[in-house]
A and B are shown apart, each in its own frame.
Chain A
Amino acid sequence: MEQLLDAALFSSTLRVVTPILLAALGGALCSRVGLFNVALEGFVLVGAFSGIVGNYLFGNVWLAVLFAVLCVMFFSLIFGYMSINLNANPIVVGISLNFLATGMTTFLLRAIFNVKGAYYDSTMVGLPKWDIPVIKDIPWIGEVISGQSPLVYLAFILMGVLQFYLFKTVSGFRLRSVGENPVAAQSIGIKVRKHQYTAVLACGVLCGLAGAQLSLGQVTMFTEGMTAGRGFIALVATMLGQANPLGVMASSLLFGFMDAFGIRLQGLAIPSHFTNMLPYIVTLIAMFFFKDRSYLKDANKAGGSSR
């Protein structure tokens, strides 16, 4: 057990949790304005692909991240326009965008790079690993926390920012009111659509970062369907965390840990198909405990704790 739960395990937990956390925060924002966004998977996939394309085009990893963010924002606008302006069912729109993302990235992979399956270029530079001064010298903790990509740190900072925004600021309060009762929000002159678009676009930004971490964070490459269900895990983390940034972080960490732990177990000759099931089994069990609680009820409590 000692060997199983070493610092490297927790370090890789932080790494794999980042895309899930970022996407789940985006999902939380959407569900706070009443749009259940099942397209997280597709958003992240587009982000991962455009991160690589940006890196290829500009030869600069920061511009690549920016490019990924812009591409996913554009992609999220489709979701916003369909479900906000055209009043289409967000679930249907989300599912079709997921398929669109799979097809489009596979097609463009061929069209742009002329390869099938995966694109890898050894001259491409991925995201740097940042050593955090002072912390890196603390035994164990330094090993876990230091030396991650900047997006890992950004994800946790954004979690705090969102928690503050939603529950402390006036704008966040109004944004939540839109999801809680759009008709009432409109009746007091709150611009419902504006808040919904803000949330959807912010979700695009977060998913763009999530995709960039995926394709530029650890290995600098893109493979077809490389999100491999992480967007859906993020969706579950959103629900499990009751669309509450702190809760979303807790559930994302749980999934990230199960993911990392699963990879570790594979080293012990436990089949990967089994370990891949772990996050979902945990989800099902967790859902059982949350059966009486909607995230709105949790919003109650969140409102209470921020007194």
Chain B
Amino acid sequence: MLLQMENITKHYGNVTANQAVNFDLGEGEVHALVGENGAGKTTLMRILYGMEQPSSGSVKVKGNVVSFANPASAMASGIGMVHQHFMLFPSFTVAENIVIGREPTSGGVFDRKQAAALVEKLGEQYGMPVDPWAVVSECPMGMQQRVEILKVLYQGADIIILDEPTGALTPLEVKELLANIKSLALQGKSFIIITHKLHEVMEVADRITVLRDGRLTGTLAATDTDAEQLSRLMVGRELVSLEKQQLELGKAVLEVKGLGIRGPKGKGKALLKDIHLQVRAGEVVGIAGISGNGQSELIQAISGLRPVDEGTVQLAGVDIKGMAVRDIREHGLAHIPEDRYLWGAAKDATVLDNGLMGHHRSLQRKGLVKGKEARAKVSEWIRQFGIKAGSLDNKIQNLSGGNLQKLIAAREFAHDAHFLIAAEPTRGVDIGAMETIHTELIRKRDAGVGVLLVSSELTEILQLSDRIVVMYEGEIAGELSAKDATEEKISLLMSGGNRQT
């Protein structure tokens, strides 16, 4: 075995993050580490990467007991980590980002030409070509991910830890990444992948280790298991399958007619073109599409975050075009935004403050927030959705992405709105939380709320939607009813084939 972690236990004060966990990795193996948020996956990997010291237990690399005081010494033993939030320098070039720390020099001067040549060769060698001169901030996420992996390879890593590698990627980029991982594994590199996306795990991993509440619940060969068994092991119980009953559809709550947004400064391609869309009370309309095809603009246009150039938007019969966001919300809009950090939360504010956003007007008396009621309300959500938030006065930036997403979802569900936009409602959340959010979305639908679901996860779209609208290059490429929608049909429309408008 290339790597063996034996009986790893880690306590933080009274909290046990890892309890006697065993983990090993062979050469050329892809070993997935799965579990819900807070199951101890990240702690285990931080121990391996020298960012934390285990309370007890031992780590062996190639049979020798090692103890890493810091990431640099882990790196020296051939362990590299690609963090969930990329560790890149946005204004530097791809080559600079990869060679930093081990820069080639000529005569004491940083030799950027040589760096570019090295990076180009490295990319070719591992089948991940990059443009060494490109500036990282202008690269798409998939390319940035590739830069991160090449950086780790350049540092000479044989064991590569990937923490939630696909969270920010488009489906196409995910496919590429998984293919890259497989081919690198064939070249003898070993991977540990932390994730909670089980279909990716099933596709790429050789073995899978499941953690729950800091304990090992099983290490299985991928050939002997399936996604259902893994999710049972992760959650520790059977997952409830979603029951959707047929509903009488009510009036249209959202009516978009001929909506258009011109390109930047009136030039270039239109961002949205002639969008007609109706959402009726009691239905979930799913919007599928590769991200960047106008979904974000559509949501922003409906919620008033972006001015509209053409067409009308009616919410419950009222024309809301040009209204302030606050007025639109008062006309019955709730909105789980797609980027939870940009639109959904204030990073430096507390859990309580973030929970109150949008509710602060109903919870006030003479301009002062009713503190007790507010605390009770937010505490109730935390209990209901099982949010691991610490205290109400904890800063939101200390919450994991999944827990923050649950808080935002809870906050928006609590609005008494007749129309709900749910954009990427389960991005980066674990299976248990996903189940909660999905159940709640369907409950809202059953209660007569019109739901517009925007998601880049096709499984989510297929599972929840009554009707599926596919967007391509700012236009509606086609519409399918839930009955005859299949992943293949949607994918085809998403890629611009088989237009049926």
Contact = CB atoms under 8 A, between A and B. Distances in A.
A287 to B, nearest CB: 21
A169 B133 contact: no
Contacts of B155: 188
Interface stretch (A79-87, A258-266, A292-300): A292-300
A177 B102 CA distance: 13
Contacts of B133: 307
Contact of A180 (B83, B90, B101, B112): B90
Contacts of A184: 87-89
A286 to B, nearest CB: 22
Nearest to A306: B112
B349 interface: no
B391 interface: no
Interface in B152-173: 155
B354 interface: no
A170 B105 contact: yes
B92 A303 contact: yes
A300 B137 contact: yes
A170 B93 CA distance: 14
A169 B110 contact: yes
B75 A180 contact: no
B89 A180 contact: yes
Nearest to B101: A188
A299 B89 CA distance: 11
B103 A303 contact: no
B110 A303 contact: no
A181 interface: yes
A77 B83 CA distance: 34
B13 interface: no
A170 B96 CA distance: 10
Interface string B99-110: 011010100111
Nearest to B155: A188
Residue in B96, B101, B105, B108 with the greatest tally of chain A CB atoms within 10 Å: B101
Contacts of A299: 91
A296 to B, nearest CB: 5
B93 A303 contact: yes
A118 interface: no
A8 B299 CA distance: 63
Interface in A250-307: 296-297, 299-300, 303-304, 306-307
Contacts of A172: 110
Contacts of B108: 169-170
B135 interface: yes
Interface string B121-165: 000000000000101010000000000000100010000000000
Given A168-B109, A303-B96, A306-B112, A189 B101 contact: yes
B100 A174 contact: yes
Interface in B53-99: 71-72, 75, 83, 87-93, 96
Contacts of B75: 189
A58 interface: no
B90 A183 contact: no
A188 B70 CA distance: 11
A270 to B, nearest CB: 42
Interface residues of B, number: 25
B87 A187 contact: yes
Contact of B109 (A169, A189, A303): A169
A93 interface: no
A99 interface: no
Contact of A303 (B72, B88, B91, B151): B91
B83 A187 contact: yes
Interface string B186-204: 0000000000000000000
A169 B108 CA distance: 7
A66 to B, nearest CB: 27
A173 B93 contact: no
B96 A296 contact: no
A190 interface: yes
A213 to B, nearest CB: 30
Given A174-B100, A189-B71, A180 B105 contact: no
Interface string B364-397: 0000000000000000000000000000000000
Contacts of A185: 89, 100
Interface in A143-185: 168-170, 172-174, 177, 180-181, 183-185
Contacts of A306: 112
A305 to B, nearest CB: 11
Given A177-B92, A188-B101, A303 B87 contact: no
A173 B91 contact: no
Interface string B322-365: 00000000000000000000000000000000000000000000
Contacts of A188: 87, 100-101, 151, 155
A304 B155 CA distance: 24
A142 B83 CA distance: 59
Contact of A177 (B72, B89, B112): B89
A68 B72 CA distance: 40
Contacts of A169: 108-110
A202 B171 CA distance: 49
A183 B90 CA distance: 13
A120 B87 CA distance: 55
Given A177-B100, A180-B89, 17 more contacts: A170-B105, A170-B108, A170-B110, A172-B110, A173-B100, A174-B100, A184-B87, A184-B88, A187-B87, A189-B75, A190-B101, A296-B91, A299-B91, A300-B91, A303-B91, A303-B93, A304-B135
Interface of B: 71-72, 75, 83, 87-93, 96, 100-101, 103, 105, 108-110, 112, 133, 135, 137, 151, 155
19 contacts: A172-B110, A174-B101, A177-B100, A184-B87, A185-B100, A187-B87, A188-B100, A189-B72, A296-B91, A297-B91, A300-B135, A300-B137, A303-B91, A303-B92, A303-B93, A303-B96, A304-B135, A306-B112, A307-B112
8 nearest CB pairs, A to B: A184-B87, A188-B101, A189-B72, A300-B91, A180-B89, A299-B91, A170-B110, A170-B103
